[in-house]
Amino acid sequence: MKRWGMQEDELSTTHPVAGLVPDTDYAETNFDGVTYGKGAALLKQLVCCVGAAGFRNGVRGYFKKYAWGNTVCADFVGALSEGEARERASATGSSGLGSGSGSGGSSDQKQKLSLDPQQWSTQWLATASMNTLTPTVLYSGSGSENLKQSVIESFVVQQTYKPEYPHLRQHALEVGLYDWNSSLQKPVLRESVMVTIDPKPSTALPQLVGKPRPDFVFINYNDHGFAKLYVERCYRLSVVAVSSFQACNSDDE
C-alpha cells in the first residue's frame, strides 16, 4: 500500500492528503493512492514521532474526548500530541529525542518528539510530493588495512525537494548499521539508532559519530519514513550484496 502511495505521489496528479470535501460526491473522487497509501504511511510516521505508547494514549484520549461527536484532523493530531506529553511525563529515567542534531538511542528505544500538531499537519497533510534524503558519511582512516579500526567521523543527511513542491519536512527515522556476513552472504544488522531529520536542507547526526564503520547504512530501517532514499556512494558492498539486502527488505505491504 505504501508503494502505491509513493507511486501516485510522484505523478503530476498528486495532491495533499488533506483537503476540503464540500459533499459526498466529491469525497468519492478521493479514493486514491495518496489518500490511502500515503495516508497510512503517515500514520506509521506519527507512531514513530510520538512512540507506540504515546500513540496508544493519544488514541484512547481521542475516542474518550470526542465520543459520539464530530471531529477534524487537528483534533486527532492534537490528541496524539497530548498522549505523547502524558507518556513523556509518566516515563522515568528514559531519554526522549529532540531535534535532528540531538541525542539518539538504540534499537529498543522509541522515537519521541515534542509533536507540534499544527506544524506536523502543515508539513505532511497540507503539502504534496515527497522529499529525497541522501546520507553522506565520512570515515576515519584510509586503505583496506585500516577498515577494522575505522569509525564514523561525520554523518549528515541532505534533504531536497522537487522545484514545484518546495517543502522540507521533519522525518522521524531509524538508521540501521549493517555488517557483511560472509557465511550468510548478506548484510546483517549490527544496531539501529532513532534519529530526527530536521525540516532544513542538511541535518547532522552526531549520535552516530564514533561508531565502528559499517559495511552498509540504511536510513529507513523498519520503514518509518515516507521519502525517496539515496544510498551513500562509499559503501563497500558489492552489487550482489546490495541486491541481497534489497531482497531481504522488500516492501510486503
Distance CA 112, CA 114 (A): 7
- Those residues with Cβ within 8 angstroms of residue 6's Cβ, 6 or more apart along the chain or in another chain: 37, 38, 41, 130, 226, 228
pLDDT at 144: 56
pLDDT at 28: 77
The pTM for the full model equals 0.81
For the domain made up of 2-123, the CATH class stated in words is: mainly alpha
pLDDT at 211: 95
Distance CA 115, CA 236 (A): 37
Domain ranges of the chain: 2-123, 132-248
Q: What's the whole-number average pLDDT of the chain? A: 82
CA angle 46, 100, 38 (to 5 degrees): 30
Distance CA 208, CA 180 (A): 19
Cell numbers linked to 109: 528505544
Distance CA 177, CA 187 (A): 9
HSE of 210, CA atoms in CB hemisphere, 13 A: 3
- Kindly report the CATH number that applies to the domain delimited by 132-248: 2.60.40
* 109 close to 207: Cβ distance less than 8 angstroms: no
Summarize pLDDT for 33-83 with one digit per residue, the tens. Answer: 998 999 999 999 999 988 899 999 999 999 999 999 999 888 999 999 898
Summarize pLDDT for 98-148 with one digit per residue, the tens. Answer: 444 443 444 334 445 566 888 888 999 999 999 999 999 998 876 555 666
pLDDT at 234: 45
Summarize pLDDT for 194-230 with one digit per residue, the tens. Answer: 999 999 999 999 999 999 999 889 999 999 999 999 8
Task: Report the C-alpha dihedral over residues 178, 181, 186, 189, rounded to 10 degrees.
Answer: -30
